Structure 1
Amino acid sequence: MKRILVATDFSANAATALTLAKRIALSDQAVLYLTHVFRPPFMEVTGPADRILSTLDEAEKLAEDELLHLRRELQADGLEVKTDFRYGAAADGVLKAITELQPDLVVLGRTGRGNALDRLLGTVASRVALKAPCPVLVVPENSPRRAIQSIVYATQLERVETGALGFVFELARQSSARITLLKINASDQLNLFDDEQFIFDIRQQFPNEHFDFEQMDAPSVRDGLSTYTAAHQTDLLVVANQPRDWLASVLNPSLSKELVLEVPTPLLVCHLDKI
């Protein structure tokens, strides 16, 4: 990894996400891009125009100063840091930054509550995670600030995931983390191919990588992942996302989107068609 983009709104949760991104950047000697999307605060247009403009200018200046302060702190830790200050709606601004800066990884905090409206429209984190052309690491609220030592890669062993696996193996090497490939056997999932053959093929493709393989039965993949991560230390959960059309995403939200909204563990979303 050469470039890591971290989206920040200067909240406590964004600071947690930044801590994790910093660890990854230091281990991989990557350049860190700090992106803040500034949107003017809502104000009642009742006062003098010059006072309103002055308040908006002050808010923008505070945001710029905070971004520069974060850059100085990270540079003091030995990181190469670039700042990216832009305007607009948060998700749109972050996606535009990703298009322009072309990072290898995006890291951002999750602040949505996973309610009905979030499920329909999506939070900033879910929109970015599902639309970005690169892997996106979503850090939930109150996530422990610890190094990545245990990675759980959720797979159904029903499709080629070479790109996503290669990315995760590289991340594990840099973090000295152990990897577990986890298959949830659920009634709503296809089981067309031989699991042992898939695992054999993965070991052939990645002969120098070490990983464990586990299976468990559960009513659904989401239930199985929740049960497993609650019982086993999981510093990072990985899912590989498939492209879906708009209608399918509304009628039957993807597992990746549900996990982004709900999972209490840092979640890495990789896109099988883009990695």
Structure 2
Amino acid sequence: MWWKTGRKRLDLSRRGRVMGILNVTPDSFSDGGTHAGVAAALGHARRMIAEGAEIIDIGGESTRPGAAEVLVAEEIGRTAPVIAALREEWEGVISIDTMKASVAAAALEAGADIVNDVSGLTGDPEMAPLCVKTGCGVVVMHMQGDPRTMQVAPHYDDVVAEVRAFFEERLAALIAAGLDPETICFDPGIGFGKTVEHNLALLRALPELGAGGRPVLLGVSRKSFIGRVLGSADLADRSWPTVAITAWAREAGVMIHRVHEVLPNVQALRMTEAILHRGIPHSPDE
């Protein structure tokens, strides 16, 4: 299995990858304001890369429930300089986390390789044509509603079937629009318009979600459903459960893991893969 991004194709046949989260926002749910500004953002990116992150996902607008929308110019001002600075010193894969085509275009121009769109490329009609034109990697996420309303009263008759159907529809529509299917991966959107029960059902059904044989990306890091399961409101109590889910998800075939704390999740992947493959998988990318 390959995932084609702007600069390289990632071999996902045996070796899972960690995508490190770099929020350059003042209001993200777990680290808002911590990495604002180019110097602070670069410092954190370097730490994540040293710990084994092979993709850095940079976001300039919080998508936590109820978050306020950010103007395009402000979102570009937060993200593009960080991407440009990181690209100058690193040959790895950079992702832009945005729903806006103009923000994505500025990020790709600055050196990004992937567009990670929580709307599944449905929020901005210019996003799919941009991705076709640039040949970037694409993360198609499922979300019921939008970040401001998604957790008001999420409802599904069958969450697994409905998320899977959304991915199948998106795959067909994006291929018809000209997108190379090898550039696409899917994210079930844990916590985006889902209850605790919906999230757990999706985690149990991970092997069923990769439409068209495309890879699945999972983002569960520090999310509130973990605290609800454990009966704790302390963010620190969500770190090791995230690692446990990473190991579980890798066994279920998930090859891309979007996390805040890189090292323990990389270690969980490598240990799980050593068990699955009777050794440490090394798969050089193109």
Larger Rg: 1 or 2? 1
TM-score between both structures, scaled by the size of structure 2: 0.27
TM-score, L = length of structure 1:
0.27
Q: Which has the higher strand share?
A: 1
